[in-house]
Chains A and B, each alone.
Chain A
Amino acid sequence: GAVVSQHPSWVICKSGTSVKIECRSLDFQATTMFWYRQFPKQSLMLMATSNEGSKATYEQGVEKDKFLINHASLTLSTLTVTSAHPEDSSFYICSASLRGRGTEAFFGQGTRLTVV
């Protein structure tokens, strides 16, 4: 089946530094990937849609300059949290859809970011 790998699974960083999270589709091409954020005991909130070879589309209220998304290839999207602050501590999770088929979404295992 379709596998999405996310790396790292957890990261601790100092306030003010930047953190990059990778999302890879291992056995399929994903023209579109999605990034979600989840705070404790809350649901997943869609942050942005990442399109291969073009700019990401951000949801309302998400700062595009703070959450940089790059989708350089059909198998890799990255999310960089710039100048991280403690309030950015959260669970970040990506998903990908099969090329040309917007049916089932395949999720990575998530990245727990803690900013100290």
Chain B
Amino acid sequence: SQQGEEDPQALSIQEGENATMNCSYKTSINNLQWYRQNSGRGLVHLILIRSNEREKHSGRLRVTLDTSKKSSSLLITASRAADTASYFCATDGTGTYKYIFGTGTRLKVLA
């Protein structure tokens, strides 16, 4: 089963623009993680945000978490063609250590 839903499902932007992806989930969580996956490849870990955190930054990435709304967002600033990939959020429910993935957002950055 899918824990989270992401929107948009697909996003196409020009290089240099910002990209925002949203993730909503259903149950209380310990942590939320964002991953990137290039076509047909493995997962690359981007950021982990804990349930008691509201915002984290890593380079051009900014993640927010709103536990009251059960939602998170991933912002990629000054996007590059190399950012073209699928982005997934994954959450582990309280009391469990297994991560359930959202539906994913396919991002295409046009040069």
Contacts and interface: CB of A to CB of B under 8 A. Distances in A.
A34 B30 CA distance: 17
Which label, helix, strand, loop or mixed, suits the secondary structure of the A interface? strand
A7 to B, nearest CB: 13
B42 A34 contact: no
Interface residues of A, number: 26
A46 interface: yes
Given A43-B2, A49-B98, A97-B97, A102 B42 contact: no
Contact of B43 (A41, A93, A97): A93
Interface of B: 1-2, 30-31, 33, 35, 40-43, 45, 48, 50, 88, 90, 92, 96-104, 106
Closest A-B pairs by Cβ, 9 of them: A102-B97, A109-B42, A44-B101, A110-B42, A107-B43, A43-B104, A43-B101, A105-B99, A43-B103
